[in-house]
Amino acid sequence: MALTGTTIDDVKAVLVSVLGIEDRAATIDAGTQLLGNLPELDSMAVLELVAALEERFGVTIDDDEVTADVFETLESLAGLIDSKL
């Protein structure tokens, strides 16, 4: 699946905003590890991020899609969003 740079950039913008990590935005790219790497990304933040992504992209993310694999990297998270567009 070929992701568009736009999807990755848009998902990154939502991620950075929800987590309040604007100061580190420049260090985050498609391969950045999310879960376990970003201390701000705890269980509550995951729920907030899912809600923000649903609102931003007009998609529905089912509970069974909220997995460690999906939240492994920015690219894997963007891939889920891209598959719903």
pLDDT, tens digit (0-9, with 9 covering 90-100), for 69-83: 999 999 999 999 999
- The pTM of the full predicted model, rounded to 2 decimals, is 0.93
Q: Using CA atoms, how far apart are residues 1 and 17, in angstroms rounded to an integer?
A: 26
What are 47-71's pLDDT values in tens digits? Answer: 999 999 999 999 999 999 999 999 9
What are 22-43's pLDDT values in tens digits? Answer: 999 999 999 999 999 999 999 9
Structure tokens at 22: 């604007």
- Amino acid identity, position 79: G
Query: What is the per-residue pLDDT for 3?
Result: 72
Q: Using CA atoms, how far apart are residues 14 and 49, in angstroms rounded to an integer?
A: 7
Backbone angles phi, psi at 21, to 5 degrees: -115, 40
